[in-house]
Amino acid sequence: METLIKEPTTRNAKNTFNMIIESAINLFYKNGYHGTTVNNITQEAGIAAGTFYLYFPSKLSLYKHILIMFSHNIRRTIAANVAEKVTRYEKEREGLKSFIMLAKENPQMYNIIWESLYIDRALFKDYYESFAKRYIKGLNNSVKREEIRALDTEVVSYILMGVANFIGLKVVLDLGDNNDDIEHIVDVYMDLIKHGLFQ
Amino acid sequence: METLIKEPTTRNAKNTFNMIIESAINLFYKNGYHGTTVNNITQEAGIAAGTFYLYFPSKLSLYKHILIMFSHNIRRTIAANVAEKVTRYEKEREGLKSFIMLAKENPQMYNIIWESLYIDRALFKDYYESFAKRYIKGLNNSVKREEIRALDTEVVSYILMGVANFIGLKVVLDLGDNNDDIEHIVDVYMDLIKHGLFQ
DNA sequence: ATATAAAATGAATGGTCATTCAGTTTGTGA
DNA sequence: TCACAAACTGAATGACCATTCATTTTATAT
């Protein structure tokens, strides 16, 4: 409906388009969606306010565009890294590690995706449900191959997604003491899901 | 600074005060902080706009007040329920179950706490760090008693908090298929952290 | 009953922004 | 070099909304 974006064609226009997106990503991260005005964005991008509306019909449509870009990016990156691994154990390790590294290198991404819960709940749901769907498929395969135990894979997928997200949060927000070595965190996690918590 | 609330003294004033809070909780949940106006709140509470400012110096101060109320509530409830259990295994089970039930019975609470990440990041950090601190203490005790393995308890605390939060999210947002029986979810979780994921 | 303070009112204010549009500049193809 | 379209400009518009304040109502204590 409102989400139609006028994709630029010429070299210069493409440049402007990308500047808008880049500026918006940084400002949304720093000040949040509601704390960022269209004028902030255009100023940061070095263009006039009106130029914004040549490409995006509204501030919200820009936000949605960025969100969709990011979610493709995350899924693609993680899927590619995980596909290189063979065993479920290695896949699990790689999945968490890729996610945390993405979050750390690109905290804007992490932040903007979570904020969608308060801007467009449907987008948020779509994102996590389709993420979960893929995850569940992978887990089901591993159950068939008898690599992992036959637990309810839907519940397991949400448990493991929860872990990744919260650790991502910890890394992004510098929660806790935080000299956090990603390898160390991933090691603790793998130890936990391999041997369990209890003696 | 801005957070000073004028606590009401008389019976009627207390009533008004509570109506403001109750209306705000529901509206913040339904439409988010930014999607809720002070006039919405006062209308819902059946009072005049100006009355709001007899008790709260600003919209933000009301939000903070609600957030603090909730975080006390959560901590108190979970701590009380967990304290009744003896073994770490039982405490862990009770902690997750209490949290999910709180989230389900009171989705506003869950939602408003997470939104704080986009409204007042310092409050959010405080909340989770102090929650984690307590959790870590409990885990450390259990390590000493040789109930659980000697993992890095800070990392473990964030892992387990992540699980609780994401499952809470799933329940609140109706993510996935969702005939979710809380007992079932908790069982899967306990199985996972008891026996691990792998064969 | 009266005085006094506490509560409540709601229209008005002022600031903030997303969005528009009439006009200008830039690039390109003939 | 000219004309035409595509890009761009930025001041103006109008809606929205937190907050104020002069005034009125209500409750209480004497």
Report residue A180's pLDDT band, with 50, 70 and 90 as the boundaries: low
pLDDT tens for A110-169 read: 999 999 999 999 999 999 999 999 999 999 999 999 999 999 999 999 999 999 998 888
Nearest to B199 by CA among A145, A138, A147: A147
pLDDT tens for A63-99 read: 999 999 999 999 999 999 999 999 999 999 999 999 9
Q: Do B118 and A34 touch (CB under 8 A)?
A: yes
- A190 CB neighbour count, 10 Å cutoff: 19
Half-sphere exposure at residue B150, Cβ-oriented, CA atoms within 13 angstroms: 3
Domain B62-195 classification at class level: mainly alpha
Q: What local confidence, expressed as pLDDT, does residue B199 receive?
A: 86
Give, in order, the Cα–Cα distances in Å from B104 to each of B70, B94, B108, B170, B192: 14, 15, 9, 10, 22
Q: Which residues contact B72 (CB under 8 A, 6 or more apart)?
A: none
Give A11→chain B minimum CA distance, Å.
Answer: 36
Mean pLDDT score, B164-178: 81
Nearest to B138 by CA among B73, B197, B70, B81: B81
Mean pLDDT score, B165-185: 81
pLDDT tens for A7-48 read: 898 888 999 999 999 999 999 999 999 999 999 999 999 999
Q: Whole-number Å distance, CA A146 to C1' C3? A: 86
Domain(s) of CATH 1.10.10.60: residues in chain B? 11-57
Distance of alpha carbon B102 from alpha carbon B108, whole angstroms: 10
Q: Whole-number Å distance, CA B91 to C1' D18? A: 46
Strand D contact set, beta carbon < 7 A: A 8-10, 12-13, 15-16, 47-51, 54; B 10-12, 36-39, 49-50, 52-53, 57-60
pLDDT tens for B12-53 read: 899 999 999 999 999 999 999 999 999 999 999 999 999 999
Q: Whole-number Å distance, CA B67 to C1' D25? A: 33
Mean pLDDT score, B183-196: 95
Domain B11-57 classification at class level: mainly alpha
**Interface test with chain B among A128, A144, A175, A197, by most B beta carbons within 10 Å:** A197
Domain(s) of CATH 1.10.357.10: residues in chain A? 62-195
Phi, psi of B87 (to 5 degrees): -80, 160
Closest-lying nucleotide for B10 based on CA to C1': C6
- B110 CB neighbour count, 10 Å cutoff: 24
- Indicate the pTM of the whole model: 0.93
Give B9→chain A minimum CA distance, Å.
Answer: 35
Nearest to B33 by CA among B162, B123, B166: B123
Partners of A194 on chain B (C-beta within 8 Å) are: 196-198
Q: Do A198 and B193 touch (CB under 8 A)?
A: yes
Mean pLDDT score, B77-105: 95
Size of interface A-B (CB pairs under 8 A): 157
Q: Whole-number Å distance, CA B69 to C1' C4? A: 35
